[in-house]
């Protein structure tokens, strides 16, 4: 017998019930596929609204936390995933993810060593009407906020890396504070590695109103390549069932 | 993870919080001492940030299996 490696996605959620449900259902498929491949995967959803029920129905962990500080929701999820004082079977890896994201499970088939984090630069964004997809490469260190953190790396900050009173830019706060605490504890930096496979390995589905950054803002901030209909471009990369549910969402 | 409840006592914002606001945060000890020394904030109470007891559930079946056969 050999131990599974285990991984949780950490997802704060707030409203957007239909979009979140579709993304959680797709995340369930992603977790099941990873588990078949020997990475025991699940997720924890942190919220105080009806998304809790969706998450529980899909078999995910849940944490009830108000929406005052997004950072606290990430910290709660990371702590429950990794802290043996809370979780009798803590995970080996935690991956923060948004409630509007899809991820191609193949980018997680290789996981980082205990002294490294794994990052991704390529991400596709779908606009608020579901009619356009753009591909973006985030050139700055760490790339997309979806990063694979070994629990051993997060231990140095008590598994709560983000500034507790942040309402945005939490992914950067997690990265910077994790590094700061790791450096203090180990007298060296962790390694930052990249595991990109293709341009649509992560898909961020925009919706009108309730989000931090709009499609237009992202397209203007980064060098993006606009393409056509997302449902054609994503066919074969993600399950037909998930694509059909999302197509219906934007109708 | 230890932090605190702070009050902004100076005449200017601190970490996005307005004068007079109470806020909860983790502030590195030296930075906290400097901010208090400058008269920007005061420490109201030490608190420990953690997941609240009774607020969470683990994934279904998470504790029942954890190993896979080599075969």
Q: Which pLDDT value is given to residue B2?
A: 67
B-facing residues of A in 16-75 (CB < 8 A) are 38, 40, 42-44, 56, 59-65, 72, 75
Distance CA B70, CA A3 (A): 9
CB–CB contact B58 A56 (8 Å):
no
Q: What ipTM does the predicted assembly reach?
A: 0.89
User: pTM of the predicted model, to two decimals?
Assistant: 0.91
| Tens digit of each residue's pLDDT (9 = 90 or more) over A1-51 | 445 799 999 999 999 999 999 999 999 999 999 999 999 999 999 999 999
B35: tokens are 């901010």
Edge-first strand order for the sheet with B2-8 is: B22-25, B2-8, B41-48
Q: Which of A72, A158, A167 to mutate to test the interface with B (most CBs of B within 10 A)?
A: A158
Pairing of strands A191-194, A116-119: parallel
CATH architecture of the domain A5-121+141-196 equals Alpha-Beta Complex (3.90)
Q: How far apart are CA A151 and CA A115, in angstroms?
A: 10
Chain B residues whose CB is inside 8 A of the A6 CB are 66
In B, minimum Cα distance to A39 occurs at B68
User: Domain boundaries in chain A?
Assistant: 5-121+141-196
Band the pLDDT of B5: cuts 50, 70, 90.
very high
Give the separation between CA B63 and CA B53, rounded to whole angstroms. Answer: 18
B65 min Cα distance to partner chain A (Å): 10
Terminal C-alpha separation, chain B:
42
Within 8 A by CB and 6+ apart from A148, the residues are A7, A93, A94, A95, A108, A111, A112, A117, A118, A119, A195
Distance from CA of A44 to the nearest CA of B (A): 8
Determine whether the interchain pair A89/B23 forms a contact, defined as Cβ–Cβ distance below 8 Å: no
């Amino acid at each position: 017998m050999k131990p599974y490696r285990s991984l949780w996605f950490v997802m704060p959620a707030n409203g957007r019930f239909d979009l979140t449900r579709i993304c959680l259902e797709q995340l369930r498929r992603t977790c099941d596929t990873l588990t078949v491949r020997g990475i025991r995967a699940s997720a924890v959803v942190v919220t105080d609204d009806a998304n809790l029920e969706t998450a529980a129905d899909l078999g995910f962990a849940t944490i009830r936390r108000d929406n005052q500080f997004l950072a606290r929701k990430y910290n709660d999820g990371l702590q429950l995933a990794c802290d043996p004082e809370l979780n009798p079977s803590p995970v080996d890896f935690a991956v923060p993810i948004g409630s509007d994201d899809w991820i191609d499970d193949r980018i997680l088939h290789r996981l980082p060593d205990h002294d490294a984090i794994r990052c991704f630069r390529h991400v596709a964004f779908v606009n608020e009407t579901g009619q356009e997809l753009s591909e973006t490469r985030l050139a700055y260190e760490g790339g997309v906020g979806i990063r694979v953190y070994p629990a051993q790396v997060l231990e140095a900050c008590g598994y709560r890396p983000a500034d507790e009173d942040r309402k945005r830019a939490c992914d950067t706060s997690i990265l910077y504070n994790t590094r700061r605490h790791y450096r203090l504890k180990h007298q060296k930096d962790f390694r930052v590695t990249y595991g990109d496979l293709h341009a649509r390995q992560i898909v961020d589905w925009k919706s009108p109103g309730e989000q931090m950054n709009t499609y237009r803002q992202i397209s203007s901030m980064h060098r993006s390549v606009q393409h056509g209909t997302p449902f054609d471009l994503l066919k074969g990369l993600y399950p037909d069932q998930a694509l059909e549910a999302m197509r219906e969402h934007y109708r | 993870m230890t932090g605190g409840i702070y009050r902004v006592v100076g005449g200017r914002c601190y970490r996005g919080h307005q004068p007079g606001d109470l806020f909860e945060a983790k502030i590195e000890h030296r930075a906290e001492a400097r901010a208090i020394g400058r008269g920007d904030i005061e420490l109201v109470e030490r608190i420990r940030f953690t997941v609240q007891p009774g607020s969470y559930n683990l994934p279904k079946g998470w504790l029942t299996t954890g190993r896979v056969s080599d075969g």
